[in-house]
Structure 1
Amino acid sequence: MTLLDFDSDRLADFAAQVRKEYDDLKARNLKLDLTRGKPSSEQLDFGEALLALPGEGDHVDADGQDVRNYGNLKGIREIRELWAEVLGIDAADIIAGDASSLNIMFDLVTWSYLFGNNDSPQPWRNEEKVRWICPVPGYDRHFTITETLGFEMVTVPMLEDGPDLDAIRELVQDPQVKGMWAVPMFGNPTGITFSEEACRELAAMETAAPDFRIVWDNAYAVHTLTEEFPPIVDIVGLAAEAGNPNRFWALSSTSKITHAGSGVSFLNSSQENLDWYLGIAGVRGIGPNKVNQLAHVRYFGNAEGVRAVMRKHAGSLAPKFDRVLEILEERLGEYEVARWTRPEGGYFISLDVIDGTASRVVELAKEAGIALTGAGSSFPHKDDPNNRNIRLAPSLPPVEELEVAMDGVATCVLLAAVEKLGA
């Protein structure tokens, strides 16, 4: 029997029990944080050897260039070849930058707004309006970029095999629709991986805007929670075959593989797109941190070295995800007041609670000392029209703290549910 089937007396008894559990939870004076998908200290320690690399006296790359000096906007050849091996693409179609892929994404969208991209009739700032497709639930930092630039963000639902293609196909008939966000593997926050059919459709569909771009954020391309590494779709190659070689800006990085604050970022795209990007990047700066790039080459060695590191991450993360899923099932499964994703990779679990209660769950958790990502954060303008989605980030806390936090979250979900039912 689900909670929705309880008669008034049984619901009242259950509500009293849940309120007692919640009072006990608050009395513990907790201070726990599940807000963002940060690597744990254990995960950061996997890359500790990087701090001694490339090492004193090791500062010349394979092309004989001193990496301590200015220059080489594309990034050193060794890191581009290594990452191209990871992605299964041609090293000529990738450049390496600094920090995380978010930096490059901001550049790409902002520069298109200021100057227009290489297919733009005019800068996007001169358009009457710019519309942008946002699959939801999605990545909040993506939405912040387009919100900051004043774009009209149009949501489409995320389905089990990718975004709603029928909705996208209709939207791109509007020439003011200039782009779309996408996290194609182990998506944030759902963990969904786009099917090959969805990838091919996005690569081939007709669009009214000649400068339409899909920001293909492959942030979790190798972030498996199992022993399996799913194949990575060469989306730039698919688009070229379909006659749309410039459609995709494909991004990835080492940020959650080595050290999150000092990663190497990558842009994979057509030569025309890369030339456009580098033309402006050369005005902004005189080259990336090539010392850090060489350090990563020395650390990984090759693509198998990357996968070996990711197996360590899976060993750290998978038990945390398993415990979250176990607690959700133990505490909430029989009552059918919530549903959640069961990702096989990535950093998040997407939790849907009873419509209209997500913000209340977050509020109750905060009062009990458990910080959750704000309700609606996975939607543009933080506006979840159903007020149901909460993003869970299990990576940072130790398992012991995670168990306490998730048991508390389950209590908050139940309390918000009985309140919604009037008990």
Structure 2
Amino acid sequence: MTLLDFDSDRLAEFATQVRGDYEELKAKNLKLDLTRGKPSSEQLDVGEALLALPGEGDHKDADGADVRNYGNLKGIRDIRELWADVLGINPEYLVAGDASSLNIMFDLVSWSYAFGNNDSERAWKDEEKVRWICPVPGYDRHFTISEHFGFEMVSVPMLDDGPDLAAIRELVQDPQVKGMWAVPTFGNPTGITFSEEVCRELASMETAAPDFRIVWDNAYAVHTLTDEFPPIHDVVAFAEEAGNPNRFWAMSSTSKITLAGAGVSFFNSSKANLDWYLATAGVRGIGPNKVNQLAHARYFGDAEGVRAVMRKHAGSLAPKFTRVQEIMRERLGEYEVARWTEPEGGYFISLDVIDGTASRVVELAKEAGIALTGAGSSFPLKDDPNNRNIRLAPSLPPVEELEVAMDGVATCVLLAAVEKLGA
């Protein structure tokens, strides 16, 4: 029997029990945080050896250049070839940068806004308006970039194998639709991985805007929670085959593989797009941190070295994800007041509660000392029209704290549910 099937007496009795559980929860004076997908200290320790690399006297890259000096906007060949092998792409279509791929994404949008990109008829700032496709639930920082530039954000639903292609096909007939966000592997926050069919359709579909771009943020390309690694689709090659070579701006990084704040970012795209990007990047700066790039090349050794590191991360992360799902099944399953994803990789679990109660769940959790990502954060302008989605980030706390936090979250979900039902 689900909570929705309880008669008034049974519901009142249950509400009294849940309110008692919530008062006990508040009495614990917790201070727990499930807001951001940060690696734990245990995970960061996996990359500790990087702090001693490349080491004194080791400062020449594969081409014999001194990495301590200026230059080489494209990044050193050592790390570009290694990472291209990880992704199964052409290293000539890959730029290695500094720690944050988000910075590159911002630059690409910013420069298109200020100057137009290499396929633009005019700068985006001179358009009557710019519209941007936002699959939801999605990554809040993506949406913040669109909001920052005043773009009109259009939500499309995320399905089991990627975003709703029918909705996208219709939207891209508008020449003011200039772009789309995508997290194609173990997506944030749903954990969904785009199928090859979806990838090829996105690469080949006709768009009214010649300068339409898909920001392909493959942040979790190798972030498995199992021993199996997902297929990585070379969408830049797909787009070239389909006659749309400049369609994708594809990103990835080592940020949740080695040191989150001191990794290497990567930008994969067509030669024309890279030439356009590097022309302005050369005005902005003289070159990336090549010492750090060489350190990463030495640390990984080869593509299999990257996968070996990711298996260590999976060993740390998988028990946390499993425990979160167990607690939600134990505490919430029989009442059918919530649904959640069970991803095989990535950093998040997407939790859907009874419509109209997500913001109340977050409020109750905050009052009990449990910080959750704000309700609606996975939607443009933080506006979830159903007020149902909450993003859970299990990675940072130790398992013992995570268990306490998730038991508390379950109590808050139940309390918000009985309040909604008028008990």
Asked if Structure 1 and Structure 2 have the same fold, meaning a TM-score greater than 0.5 normalized by the shorter chain, the answer is yes
State the alpha-carbon separation in 2 of the partners of residues 301 and 115 from structure 1.
Answer: 39
Deviations, residues 178-235 of structure 1 (Å, cap 9, x unaligned): 0000000000000000011111110000000000000000000000000001110000
**Partners of 1:343 and 1:115 in 2: how far apart?**
40
Equivalent-residue separation in structure 2 for 1:230 and 1:377 (angstroms): 27
2:295 is equivalent to residue 280 of structure 1: no
Q: Pairwise mapping of residues 197-236 of structure 1 onto structure 2 (< 5 A)?
A: 197-236=197-236
Is residue 131 of structure 1 aligned with residue 131 of structure 2? yes
Q: What do residues 114-165 of structure 1 show as CA deviations (whole Å, max 9, x unaligned)?
A: 0100000000000000000000000000000010000000000000110000
Q: Distance in 1 between matches of 2:80 and 2:196?
A: 25
Q: How does 1:253-332 map to 2 (within 5 A)?
A: 253-332=253-332
Q: How does 1:102-117 map to 2 (within 5 A)?
A: 102-117=102-117
Give how far 1:314 is off.
Answer: 0.2
Unaligned runs of 5+ in 1: none
Q: Distance in 1 between matches of 2:104 and 2:185?
A: 19
Instruction: Name the residue aligned to 1:352.
Output: 352
Task: Give the TM-score, by structure 1 length.
Answer: 1.00
Secondary structure, aligned partner of 1:153: strand
- Specify the code of the residue in structure 2 equivalent to 1:78: D
CA distance in 2, matches of 1:357, 1:184: 29
Deviations 1:334-361 (A, max 9, x none): 0000000000000000000000000000
The answer to whether 1:419 aligns with 2:407 is no
1:215-267 superposed Cα distances (whole Å, 9 cap, x missing partner): 00000000000000111000000000011000000000000000000010000
> In structure 2, what is the Cα distance between the partners aligned to 1:195 and 1:255?
24
Q: For residues 402 and 37 of structure 1, what CA distance do their matches in structure 2 show?
A: 13
* Deviation sequence 1:291-348 (CA, Å, 0-9, x none): 0000000000000000000000000000000000000100000000000000000000
> 1:162, 1:91 → 2: CA distance?
26
The amino acid of 1:340's aligned partner reads: W
Aligned partner of 1:77 in structure 2 is 77
Distance (whole Å) between structure 2 residues aligned to residue 4 and residue 411 of structure 1: 17
1:57 aligns with 2:57: yes
Q: Corresponding residue for 2:93? A: 93
User: Letter of the aligned partner of 1:117 in structure 2?
Assistant: N
- CA deviation digits over 1:355-389, x for unaligned, max 9? 00000000000000000000000001100000000
Amino acid at match of 2:380: P
TM-score (norm 2): 1.00
Q: Which residue of 2 aligns with 1:194?
A: 194
In structure 1, distance between residues paired with 2:114 and 2:319: 45
What amino acid is aligned across from residue 236 of structure 1 in structure 2?
A: V
What is the deviation of 1:95? 0.5
The one-letter amino acid paired with 1:246 is: N
Match of 1:45 in 2: 45
Letter in 1 for 2:150: G
The one-letter code sitting in structure 2 at the alignment partner of 1:129 is: K
Deviation at 1:55, TM superposition (A): 0.3
Please give the residue correspondences for 1:317-396 in structure 2 after superposition, counting only pairs within 5 Å. 317-396=317-396
Q: Distance in 1 between matches of 2:270 and 2:97?
A: 17
Q: Amino acid of the residue matched to residue 279 of structure 1? A: A
Paired residues, number: 423
State the Cα distance separating 1:100 from its structure 2 match. Answer: 1.7
Alpha-carbon distance between aligned partners in 1 of 2:13 and 2:152, rounded to the nearest angstrom: 47
> For residues 124 and 41 of structure 2, what CA distance do their matches in structure 1 show?
42
Q: What is the letter of the counterpart of residue 252 of structure 1? A: S
Q: Match for residue 148 of structure 2?
A: 148
The code of the aligned residue for 2:317 comes to L
Rounded Cα–Cα distance in structure 2 between residues aligned with 1:207 and 1:374: 34
- Which ranges of 4 or more aligned residues in structure 1 deviate by more than 3 Å? none
What SS does the aligned partner of 2:85 have?
Answer: helix
SS in 2 for 1:98: coil
Separation in 2 of the partners of 1:330 and 1:30? 22
Structure 1 residue identity aligned to 2:385 = P
- Superposed displacement of residue 9, structure 1: 0.1
Q: Gaps (5+ residues) in structure 2? A: none
Q: Aligned partners of 2:77, 2:196: CA distance in 1, in Å?
A: 30
User: RMSD of the alignment, in Å?
Assistant: 0.3
Amino acid at match of 1:14: F
2:3 aligned partner, one-letter code: L
